[in-house]
Chain A
């Protein structure tokens, strides 16, 4: 046991000695290890450095990969949209639309007086409800040479009878040269701005007094043909010359129906015998843009044709119209805007043939001027003033007495396809017992089917 212990002691002594020697000599004999500690430190920094470098490289590579992936994605997106363009189709089919105009209102005068005050065929001319106009409109391209259109209207008259009218049915040419275009069929005569306009485009619920007087309840329209020429001027200048049948209830002032009376003159039967018995019309329309936001139209129109108060009697009508519209550079759905529309018309009517004791020349003139203000998105306020007069003594004649009318209205367009309109009319008419009449009318419009494209 002791031996073991002493041996261990000797071993420890020897180990201690050896270790001491090693400690002394090693630094001398192994110079490489002298700097071991500092060497490890620098190695560590080196590794750290390289690791950092690798990390940087990795980041660069990752970024590059991202870029390549992005590029590839972009390329894929590109090829996806460029490879096979989809033909989305364009509609060349029949465009069908149906619009309905309804009114309800009350006036301070009774229905008989109201019929005289509101002589337009689409006017709300009775206390209570009126179906003003239900219009079916169909249009399309016929072939490379023609476009065609038909408008069929449905009304319910004062007796509750349904009336169907072929309001318009015409074709226009597509491919004539030199700025020419021919229109033929049954159509509204292009006289002034308002006459050819369909009721759903009117800014007021009723038509101006002077138009009802000169063109009757339904507006001036008939069968015929016209040529229009877009003149090679620096501004827009269009000349329209046409000939239409002068006979029929939609050609008032000309060969109107038998047994009617105008200013006490009985109208008789008179048919067109030759070319000169047609109704001739001319219109010269000019338009300029003062700026992107302001446009101005100015037109002159004229009509000449036979009338049925005699065998050789003639009627001529002249008119001037102006339309100015402003809307600012930034406008939402066409709002806000201000527009001003004025027309003046004058008729010279030869009543009875030359040599007839009863012969006289009747002149009727009048104008309307209306201002529309789209003051707020979908809201329009309107104000219209009218004045109409005639020569001679017509105190009791509701078609020729002196009349003035002031109308104010407010329109709310609920969407592109419906609107509500409230209108107040103040009438001054010589033939009325009370001299004045007040009316309040609420109008509603809907429009179904294809979007209708409208001229300015």
Chain B
């Protein structure tokens, strides 16, 4: 009897640890989860805290997420204030010192890329919800995907040095494939090069940078501020003046503004998958750009 109790206690304290040899990764977005999956393969278990169909800036710190953070060995975050409204609450409730800021399992991927749109000079919130650290939508540039994969491979190698070779070679495979695909995507989108485009929110500038088109205006007058009738009419003028033929937006934004603009100016509207799992059949980081390219080609008629 005493023996069984001891065994039970032993199993309770050590059994769970032994059962999980794979590194448990929790990512704040599906995009980070997909890249981590490409690098970690079967050596990791990865979960995303958000679904991909919603703007990760407005996620909520649900209790189910607290459990995931509690159990994680590694937390991947977009950073640059993307998760400011909910991740601090999760970290405070998550009781996991490894994944806290400064912990071995805390990886802020905004530190691995060059952020665009860093505000210059004086800013305040009369300009809307400006991200003071720079624009956090950087995963929409495949070149940044490479930087992110490097940072993830490096951290996984530190956490699990036995499998360092594996992570490094997986990263090289990922990088080569992404390089090759990037060339294909650039070729497919070459008709768009140098063209003027309108976006819904200031979230697609990395896409414009990677594929060399110009975003000349946004439907939102200021980040996070809904467009008024006046703003929409101002856009109608802009579209006519600059001869803009394409409006690009994420699937979760309201459709009325784009429908109005499309009716007034015949502008083509491309609803793009902005994240992995934001639309059907967008299962990984490569599908994401395949999907974006497809939507742009379809809407642009090239």
Contacts and interface: CB of A to CB of B under 8 A. Distances in A.
Given A71-B183, A172-B92, A295-B62, A451 B85 contact: yes
Interface residues of B, number: 61
B61 A455 contact: yes
A28 to B, nearest CB: 65
A453 B226 contact: no
A285 to B, nearest CB: 7
A453 B133 CA distance: 18
Contacts of A287: 62-64
B64 A453 contact: no
A236 B64 contact: yes
Contact of A453 (B51, B89, B224, B254): B89
Contacts of A176: 95
Interface in A288-302: 288-289, 292, 295, 297
A88 B116 CA distance: 11
Interface string B39-73: 00000000000010111011011111011001000
B66 A236 contact: yes
Given A81-B143, A230-B66, A329-B51, A88 B79 contact: yes
B88 interface: yes
A74 B210 CA distance: 9
B258 interface: no
B111 A451 contact: no
Interface stretch (B18-26, B144-152, B232-240): B144-152
Contact of A456 (B61, B146, B224): B61
A152 interface: no
B227 to A, nearest CB: 10
B252 A332 contact: yes
Contact of A181 (B55, B95, B144, B151): B95
Given A333-B55, A415-B224, A453-B84, A81 B147 contact: yes
A456 B63 CA distance: 7
Given A82-B146, A172-B92, A285-B63, A88 B55 contact: no
B58 A81 contact: no
Contacts of B67: 230, 236
Interface string B129-151: 10001100000010110110011
A297 B226 CA distance: 31
A81 B144 contact: yes
B110 interface: yes
B150 A332 contact: no
A235 B80 CA distance: 31
A162 B280 CA distance: 57
A236 B63 contact: yes
B170 interface: no
A90 B224 contact: no
B289 interface: no
A53 to B, nearest CB: 26
B133 A88 contact: yes
A315 B89 CA distance: 33
23 contacts: A70-B186, A74-B182, A74-B186, A85-B111, A85-B113, A85-B114, A87-B111, A88-B111, A90-B79, A90-B108, A90-B111, A174-B95, A292-B53, A295-B64, A329-B51, A330-B53, A330-B54, A332-B254, A333-B55, A333-B57, A333-B58, A416-B129, A454-B89
Closest 8 CB pairs of A and B: A287-B63, A175-B97, A453-B88, A236-B63, A453-B89, A329-B53, A451-B84, A330-B252
